[in-house]
């Protein structure tokens, strides 16, 4: 589980991120990111809408899988960023873990955060 200090709290931070951040897209998800010089550590949010999976159990499973991957990738992120992973495909639920990790790493590399 990702520690409390690495998560977004409230809605205001995500609203700013949605408006001003840069985006990298893949087949499974979109990553929005922006540098945050006011913080000491990066913050991560995972967004899964009801359009992706109707049940809360499924959405939470997707969220937990991605939070775990981001927890492991967080030490390799260069600098302090606010990052939101927005899931755009229900395939994330069934895709093997290795493929999901490589997809997230590819997004981080394309954004030059790694």
Q: Assign residue 81 the CATH number of its domain.
A: 3.30.230.10
| Residue 11 clears pLDDT 80, i.e. is over it | no
5 burial (CB, 10 Å; 0-12 / 13-18 / 19+) is exposed
Q: Specify the residue for token string 């994330």.
A: 92
- In this structure, what token pair is assigned to residue 77? 């992120």
Full strand arrangement of the beta sheet holding 22-25: 22-25, 29-35, 81-87, 43-47
Domain count for the chain, please give it: 1
Give 71's pLDDT tier (boundaries 50, 70, 90).
very high
Name the CA dihedral angle for 29, 97, 63, 47, rounded to a multiple of 10 degrees. Answer: -10
Domain with 79, as residue range(s), is 4-110
8 Å CB contact between 20 and 28: no
* Range with the poorest average pLDDT among 10-19, 28-37, 78-87, 99-108: 10-19
Task: Please tell me the distance from the alpha carbon of residue 35 to that of residue 48, in angstroms, as a whole number.
Answer: 23
Q: What is the pTM of this model?
A: 0.91
Q: Please compute the mean of the pLDDT values over residues 65-83 and round it to a whole number.
A: 94
């Amino acid at each position: 589980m990702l520690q409390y200090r690495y998560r977004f709290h409230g809605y205001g931070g995500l609203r700013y991120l949605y408006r001003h951040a840069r985006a990298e897209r893949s087949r499974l998800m979109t990553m929005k990111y922006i540098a945050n010089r006011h913080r000491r550590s990066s913050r991560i949010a995972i967004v899964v809408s009801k359009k992706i999976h109707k049940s809360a159990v499924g959405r939470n499973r997707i969220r937990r899988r991605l939070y775990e991957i981001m927890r492991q990738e967080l030490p390799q992120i260069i600098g302090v960023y606010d990052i939101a992973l927005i899931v755009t495909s229900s395939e994330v639920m069934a895709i093997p873990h290795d493929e999901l990790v490589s997809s997230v790493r590819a997004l981080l590399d394309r954004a030059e955060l790694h």
